[in-house]
Amino acid sequence: MENESAQVSSDKPVRRLAGGLFDKYLNNKGIFKNREVLRHSHRPHTLPHRKDQIDSIASILAPAIRNETPSNILIYGKTGTGKTASVKYVGSELESACREMGKACNVIHLNCELIDTQYRVLAQIANELENIDNKPSDKPRTSIPMTGWPTDQVYAELRNLVEAMGGVNVIVLDEIDKLVKKSGDETLYNLTRFNSELKNAKISMIGISNDLRFTNFLDPRVLSSLSEEELVFPPYNAPQLCDILQQRADVAFMEKVLDDGVIPLCAALAAQEHGDARRALDLLRISGELAERENSQKVSEMNVKMAQQKIETDSMIVCISSLPTQSKAVLYSMLLLVDLNKQLFTTGEVAQVYRDVAHVIDLDVLTHRRIADLISELTMLGVINSRVVSRGRYGRTKEMWFSTGTAGIKETIFKDDRFIEEDLAKMDLSRYRALLR
Ligand SMILES: Nc1ncnc2c1ncn2[C@@H]1O[C@H](COP(=O)(O)OP(=O)(O)OP(=O)(O)O)[C@@H](O)[C@H]1O
């Protein structure tokens, strides 16, 4: 297909990219100056509204610059409250300060969502120490494979390496709750014992989590050692999120492309959730991307509302794909009612359609009671909305409806092998017409 815009215009030859599919994106330079600064991986030079927390972490780690062992720290706060960003900032400042003072200090940051067994934690610490740029060449080299050795051997090898490196080693266990949930508290127990076996080197730990329930699974001695110091990161409020967004927006967007209400709206929506800077940044980036896709020169509040809807739909899709098949069958029955133009439906109506759906996809048919339970779960997950209404002498009944578009939900359900689109399409919907009255 010929690309019209590539042929239009002037005497100058029009630059054409390959077959022309991407030509229109080449000229769209209107919105972003540097969108990368809105990504999670970007580390800003300053972190507004985290001065107190940063100062606290720095004061706890300060003994490292005198080659003394800092206390262990347990940091807690809801998701997106700047825990990781603050710890990484203090960690790199500490390493630089120690380097200037001629003291050995390494900060090793592990994400326990990925590294969630004792073996992998120990091996990863060793490998990170191995890769440190300033590792003196006379130190022994070790290369622990990521699997295969007995844990005792890995432990001994790591101890020898740390001892040979000397200095203070701060080990950050980010998302520490995932490690404890997956493999108990043995790793932490062993790491807290480490110092008593070292002469030249010191270890201190920072555990970061957004779920404090993991502490219930810790031996009291491990807990008291890990939480010698405790810090809580409070959620950001809307004005604080505005400052954080403004700082990034100045670098991320071309001048004057953001309508005045855009940043306050992103901040207000993210503050309503739980003061999550990551959500606020996602909203701002997706708003910009939606405006860009529309070929608009400005980002508007409408783009923010669409971005919010997109984020909600995306997370709902993830939630729906992990539902059990029976819940998907109940949900699919609701979608059929919507296809029949019924926007509000009751448990009885859903159950009636569900029985046929279950039959078509060869599921055991659940009782009315169980169907009602699954509907309550779907309401709790936010997939559907519901309210109890009084129907006079017929008593009270629950009415349900979808608040978002349903196309994505249907598509997700069809990804489950049990739901064969052709079989379900054969269902005779006309038999439910009576429900429409
Ligand atoms: N005060 C701040 N100033 C600028 N950016 C911030 C600030 N706080 C958080 N951010 C940004 O928000 C995003 C999330 O922050 P971070 O990863 O530090 O949160 P977290 O509390 O560790 O969350 P989680 O518990 O989900 O890991 C990052 O992109 C980070 O740069």
Query: Which atom of ligand 1 is found nearest the CA of 81?
Result: 21
pLDDT of 223 strictly over 80: yes
Cα 43 to ligand 1 centroid, rounded to whole Å: 9
What per-residue confidence (pLDDT) applies to 82? 95
Give, to the nearest 10 degrees, the angle between helix 51-61 and helix 83-101: 40
Most confident of 5-14, 34-43, 128-137, 395-404: 34-43
Query: Which atom of ligand 1 is found nearest the CA of 82?
Result: 18
Whole-number Å distance between alpha carbons of 116 and 79: 19
**Confidence class of residue 58 from pLDDT cuts 50, 70 and 90?**
very high
Cβ 151 vs Cβ 122: under 8 Å: yes
Cα 86 to ligand 1 centroid, rounded to whole Å: 8
**Confidence class of residue 349 from pLDDT cuts 50, 70 and 90?**
very high
pLDDT of 301 strictly over 80: yes
pLDDT of 13 strictly over 60: no
What per-residue confidence (pLDDT) applies to 212? 83
pLDDT of 280 strictly over 60: yes
Mean pLDDT of 32-45: 90
pLDDT of 37 strictly over 60: yes
Whole-number Å distance between alpha carbons of 263 and 280: 9
Mean pLDDT of 306-327: 89
Query: Which atom of ligand 1 is found nearest the CA of 87?
Result: 18
- For the chain, give the mean pLDDT: 88
Domains defined along the chain, listed by start: 1-28 (no CATH), 51-233 (3.40.50.300), 237-319 (1.10.8.60), 323-436 (1.10.10.10)
Query: Which atom of ligand 1 is found nearest the CA of 50?
Result: 1
Mean pLDDT of 309-338: 91
pLDDT of 134 strictly over 70: no
**Confidence class of residue 3 from pLDDT cuts 50, 70 and 90?**
very low
What per-residue confidence (pLDDT) applies to 175? 95
Mean pLDDT of 146-153: 84
Out of 81, 88, 245, mutate this one to test ligand 1's pocket (max ligand atoms within 8 Å of CB): namely 81
What per-residue confidence (pLDDT) applies to 48? 95
Cα 177 to ligand 1 centroid, rounded to whole Å: 18
Question: Considering only CA atoms, which residue is closest to atom 9 of ligand 1?
Answer: 82
Pocket of ligand 1 (CB under 6 A): 40, 44, 47-50, 77, 79-85, 210, 244, 277-278, 281
Whole-number Å distance between alpha carbons of 286 and 262: 12
- Of 15-29, 119-133, 339-353, which gets the smallest average pLDDT? 15-29
Mean pLDDT of 382-387: 88
Cα 425 to ligand 1 centroid, rounded to whole Å: 46
- Of 191-195, 266-270, 282-286, which gets the smallest average pLDDT? 191-195
Beta bridge partners of 171: 108, 205
pLDDT of 236 strictly over 60: yes
What per-residue confidence (pLDDT) applies to 408? 84
At position 7, the amino acid (one-letter code) is: Q
